[in-house]
Every structure is written in C-alpha cells, then in structure tokens.
Amino acid sequence: MEYALSGDPDAQALFDEIMAHELFHCLTRSHPDFRARMYAILGFTVVDEDYDFSQEIRERIISNPDVERHNSHAAFDIGGEMVDCAVIFTTGRPFEQPGDSFFELGVTGLVPVDDLGTMYTAEDAANFWDVFGRNTDYVIDPEETLADNFAMTILYGPDGREYQSPEIIAAIDALLKSGTAKAAA
C-alpha cells in the first residue's frame, strides 16, 4: 500500500486496478444475481449447485479464494461439437519434481457438465478466446476474467482504452448503467 501511495502514477494505477478487480469479487460473492448477469456477458450460465467433479479432477484443481463456486458453464467448440463445460484451474501434471512451479504447471481445464470425469484444455476449444475475449490473459475462470474486464470498465470506460474485445467492456458498462446491477446490489 505504501508503494501505491508513493506518488508514482504507475503504482497508483496498479493499485486502482487491483482494488477494482477485488471489488468485483466482493460483488459477485455477495450478490448471486449480479454474478449471473455478469457471467452471462461471456456466455456462461450459472446453475444452483456446484458441479461434482470426479475425484481425479478434484485432486488436480488449484484452489483460488476468489473462485468460490464451480457452478457455471459455457459452450465450447471441442472437435467441432459444442460442449457445455465448466472451467477449472488445474495442474497439467502432479507436482512431483523439486522446483515445480504453480505458474508452469497451471492449466485452464474445460470439464463437460455431462461427463465430470473428462477434462479438455483451453487449446482443445476452437472458440476459447471467443468466449473469454482478449482483453486479459487472466483466463483461468470466468470470475477472474470478468474481474479484470470489470476493473477496466470502471477505471477507463468503453472509450478509455483500445480493447481487443470491446464488446465485453461495452456489455459490462451497459449492465452497470442499466440499473439491473443496482437491483442486485
């Protein structure tokens, strides 16, 4: 915090982005309707119950305190077929070697909701980047991707930056201005 308040404009911008990103997590955790509407922007459907992944998949999930639930899915093009998948952050292989790094082994996994024992990777989905957009590389879960997009929206607005996926920023901006986000809050 001291660094952010040092007067360095870059440090202040980073601090603002982190705070806006974390605010999103507070909002989605406290307001499920807001979460569902935000997730829908990326094409995710939120369901009532968390998915009961197979034991093998559960053992590989890397926990993230900001990702409280695994109860959403989107349609991904896997081998030419649209498959509803939950998104998880998992290990590509077990941590076995000294020096194995979380950052090197982490993989975004796609688990079909009708086969909770199968997992594909982001590379297996022809439309992965169409679903998540390209405004951020933080694509381990819709929660984190949307938190980054939310931060960009409230800090810079739809016209404050050049976005690779401006439709996501525009949709978040429209939702926030519509009053439906207020109704959820």
Q: Is the pLDDT of residue 73 over 50?
A: yes
CB 87 within 8 A of CB 50: no
Q: Is the pLDDT of residue 3 over 60?
A: no
Query: How many folded domains does the chain comprise?
Result: 1
Residue 111 lies in a domain: yes
Residue 5 lies in a domain: no
pLDDT classification of 92: cutoffs 50, 70, 90: confident
What pLDDT is recorded for position 101? 76
**Measured distance CA(45)–CA(15) in Å, rounded:** 31
Q: What per-residue string of b and e applies to 106-127 under the rule 16 or more CB within 10 Å gives b?
A: ebbbbbbeeeeebbbebebbee
**Measured distance CA(126)–CA(124) in Å, rounded:** 6
Which pair of structure tokens corresponds to residue 100? 């194995």
Residue 7 lies in a domain: no
pLDDT classification of 185: cutoffs 50, 70, 90: very low
Residue 148 lies in a domain: yes
**Measured distance CA(179)–CA(141) in Å, rounded:** 26
For residues 83-89, average pLDDT: 97
Residue 16 lies in a domain: no
Residue 128 lies in a domain: yes
Q: What is the 3-state secondary structure (H, E, C) of 60-71?
A: HECCCCCCCCCC
For residues 133-147, average pLDDT: 96
Q: Would you put residue 90 in left (φ > 0), alpha (ψ -120 to 50) or beta?
A: beta
Residue 12 lies in a domain: no
Quick one: what percent of the chain has pLDDT higher than 70?
A: 93
What pLDDT is recorded for position 181? 60
What pLDDT is recorded for position 6? 62
**Measured distance CA(141)–CA(26) in Å, rounded:** 16
Q: What tens digit of pLDDT does each residue of 99-131 get? A: 777 777 889 999 999 999 999 999 999 999 999
First to last CA, the chain: 27
Q: What tens digit of pLDDT does each residue of 12-58 get? A: 999 999 999 999 999 999 999 999 999 999 999 999 999 999 999 99
Report yes or no on whether pTM surpasses 0.75: yes
Residue 9 lies in a domain: no
pLDDT classification of 8: cutoffs 50, 70, 90: confident
Q: Within 31-165, where are the H helices?
A: 32-41, 55-60, 102-105, 128-132, 142-156
For residues 136-142, average pLDDT: 95
What pLDDT is recorded for position 145? 98
Domain that holds residue 98: 21-184
In 10 A of CB 92, how many CB atoms? 11
